[in-house]
Chains A and B, each alone.
Chain A
Amino acid sequence: MNEITVFIMGKGYRVPAGLTIMKAMEYAGYLLNRGCGCRGGYCGACATVYRLPGDYKLYADLACQTPVQDGMYIAQLPFTPAERPAYALENLTPDGATLLALFPELARCVACNTCTKACPQKLEVMDAVQSSLRGDIRQVAEFTFDCVSCGLCTMRCPAEISHHHVWQLSRRLNGAYLTPRAEHVKTRVEEIAAGKFKGELDKLVTMTKDELVAAYKARQIEA
Chain B
Amino acid sequence: MPTNPSRLAYFPGCAMKDQARPDELGTLQALALLGYEVEEIPRWNCCGTVYSLAQDDLMRHVGPVRNLVRVQGMGEKRVLTLCAMCYGTLTRSARFVEEPERLERINAFMDTEDDFRGGIEVVHLLTLLRDEVGYEKLASQVKRSLDGLKVATYYGCVLLRPREFAVDDPERPEVMERVVEALGGTPTVFPERMECCGAYLTVGRSDVVEDRAGRILRSARGNGADLVVTTCPLCQFNLDKRRPAGAPSLPVLYLGQILAWAMGVDEPAVAALLTDEPATGKPVPSGV
Interface on A for B, CB 8 Å cutoff?
95-96, 109-113, 116-117, 124, 126-127, 130, 133-136, 158
Assuming the contacts A110-B63, A111-B46, A111-B66, asked whether A135 and B17 have C-beta atoms less than 8 A apart, the reply is yes
- Can you name the residue of chain B whose Cβ is closest to the Cβ of A136? B17
Closest to B14 in A: A134
| Cβ-defined contact, B66 with A95, below 8 A | no
Total B residues in contact with A, Cβ cutoff 8 Å: 16
A158 to B14, CA, bound (A): 21
| Contacts A96-B18, A111-B63, A113-B66; A133 near B46 (Cβ below 8 A) | yes
B62 partner, pick from A111, A124, A127, A133, beta carbons under 8 A: A111
A110 contact from B18, B43, B62, Cβ within 8 A = B62
Task: Note all chain A residues with C-beta closer than 8 A to B62.
Answer: 110-113
Measured in the bound complex, the distance between the Cα atoms of B60 and A112 in whole Å is 9
Docked CA distance A135–B110 (Å)? 26
Partner of A130, one of B46, B59, B112: B46
The reply on B214 being an interface residue by CB < 8 A is no
**Does any Cβ of A come within 8 Å of B44's Cβ?**
yes
Q: Contacts A110-B59, A110-B63 given: A95-B46 contact, CB under 8 Å?
A: no
Chain B, residue nearest A104 (CB):
B203
Partner of A134 from the list B17, B43, B63, B112 (CB cut-off 8 Å) is B17
Minimum Cβ distance to chain B for residue A151 (Å): 21
**Further pairs besides A112-B109, A113-B112: 5, Cβ < 8 Å:** A110-B60, A113-B66, A130-B46, A134-B18, A158-B59
Q: How far is the CA of A112 from the CA of B63 in the complex (A)?
A: 7
CB contacts (< 8 Å) of A158 on chain B: these are 59
Q: Is the CB of B18 within 8 A of A135?
A: yes
Residue of B nearest to A96 (CB): B18
Q: Determine whether the beta carbon of B14 is less than 8 Å from that of A112.
A: no
**Which of A95, A113, A126, A133 is in CB contact (< 8 Å) with B14?**
A133
* A111 (CB) vs chain B CBs: closest residue: B63
CB distance from A78 to the nearest CB of B (A): 28
Q: Which of B76-124 contact A (CB under 8 A)?
A: 109-110, 112
CA distance A112 to B62 in the complex (A): 6
Given contacts A117-B112, A158-B59, contact A111 B17 (CB under 8 A): no
Beta-carbon contact of A130 and B18 below 8 Å: no
Flag whether B202 is at the interface (Cβ < 8 A). no
| B45 proximity list for chain A (CB < 8 A) | 109, 111, 126-127, 130
> How distant is the Cα of A134 from the Cα of B11 in the complex, in angstroms?
13
Interface string of B156-193 (1 = CB under 8 A from A): 00000000000000000000000000000000000000
CA distance A134 to B109 in the complex (A): 25
A127 to B17, CA, bound (A): 14
A109:B18 contact, CB within 8 angstroms: no
Closest to B59 in A: A110
Instruction: Assess whether B48 is interfacial by the CB under 8 Å rule.
Output: yes
A96 to B45, CA, bound (A): 15
For B112, give its contact among A96, A110, A116, A135 (CB under 8 Å).
Answer: A116
**Chain B residues, CB < 8 A from A130:** 14, 44-46
Q: Give residues of chain B (55-73) contacting chain A, Cβ–Cβ below 8 Å.
A: 59-60, 62-63, 66
Complex-state Cα separation, A117 to B63, whole angstroms: 16
The list of the 8 closest CB pairs from A to B, nearest first, reads A111-B63, A111-B45, A134-B17, A135-B18, A134-B14, A130-B45, A133-B14, A96-B18
Q: Interface centre among B45, B60, B63, B109, by most A CB within 10 Å?
A: B45
CA distance A113 to B109 in the complex (A): 10
A113 CA / B46 CA spacing, docked (Å): 12
A135–B15 CA distance with the chains assembled, in angstroms: 9
Shortest Cβ distance from B94 into chain A, in angstroms? 15
| A30 → chain B closest CB, angstroms | 33
Across the interface, which residues of A come within 8 angstroms of B44, CB to CB? 130
Closest Cβ neighbor of B48 among chain A residues: A110
